[in-house]
Amino acid sequence: MHYSQESLATLDSRFRAHLINSLSGFKSANLIGTQDSQGQTNLAIVSSVFHLGAHPPLVGMIIRPHSVARHTFENILETKVYTINQVNADIVSQAHQTSARYDKEESEFTMTGLTPETLADFKAPFVAQSHLKYAVQFREHQHLAINGTELVIGEIIDLHVKDGAIQEDGFIDLEALNTVTVSGLDSYHKTQIIERLPYAKKENYRD
């Protein structure tokens, strides 16, 4: 099956959205918890959270400022903090439902039945049902003029992981946490480990 640049451009826009969203491969599934300066909470599922660096511990995500994630972006600029909460198999449908277009005064926590949790007085809500979650200090955003999106970068400042999932070398067993992955716009998947591979060196290749 082959699509040229011209055939991609003439696809029905919904078909193209599904198709192009599938191309990058499997994505992370995370809930972004925020609140405004009056304490009105918001929760939004985001599939574009990515690792940016370990030292300092930085995480990036792409937000469309005029999409349903607009309140998330506004709250981050207002309070400079947010939480990232991994989605597990038990909360997939509630997590997905946070992508509905609720009004600002309708908290997605209330509307979907997920439970806001305050940890260590942090000024953004965590998701009680998530097994891996962390507090993030907003560091900067970059406007990507090429398509009007925003790259939001934050520093991980406080990490909460369910007991037993962190292995001796620091690797976190996401399968022990039931963490899911997303493909396309709306498909949720469990995972099954194939293997962990050793650090790749020129001399140690086993074919």
User: Which 2-61 positions form the footprint of a copy of itself (CB under 8 A)?
Assistant: 2-5, 8, 11-30, 47-60
Please, which contacts does 36-42 make with residues 24 or more away whose CB atoms are closer than 8 Å? 36/71, 36/74, 36/75, 36/78, 36/79, 36/104, 37/78, 37/79, 40/104, 40/105, 40/107, 41/107, 41/108, 41/109, 41/116, 41/125, 42/71, 42/72, 42/75, 42/104, 42/107, 42/108
Q: Which stretch binds a copy of itself (CB under 8 A): 34-42, 72-80, 121-129, 136-144?
A: 136-144
Binder of a copy of itself out of 77, 79, 111, 128 (CB under 8 A): 111
Q: Does 176 bind a copy of itself (CB under 8 A)?
A: no
Report the C-alpha gap between 15 and 2 in whole angstroms. 15
Place of tokens 């309070």: 79
Binder of a copy of itself out of 43, 76, 84, 127 (CB under 8 A): 84
Tell me the closest approach of the beta carbon of residue 75 to a copy of itself, in angstroms.
Answer: 20
Q: Does 128 bind a copy of itself (CB under 8 A)?
A: no
Binder of a copy of itself out of 93, 110, 115, 118 (CB under 8 A): 93
Binder of a copy of itself out of 75, 86, 107, 129 (CB under 8 A): 86
Q: Does 124 bind a copy of itself (CB under 8 A)?
A: no
Place of tokens 């949790």: 117
Binder of a copy of itself out of 70, 80, 123, 162 (CB under 8 A): 162
Report the C-alpha gap between 42 and 102 in whole angstroms. 10
Binder of a copy of itself out of 40, 65, 158, 176 (CB under 8 A): 158
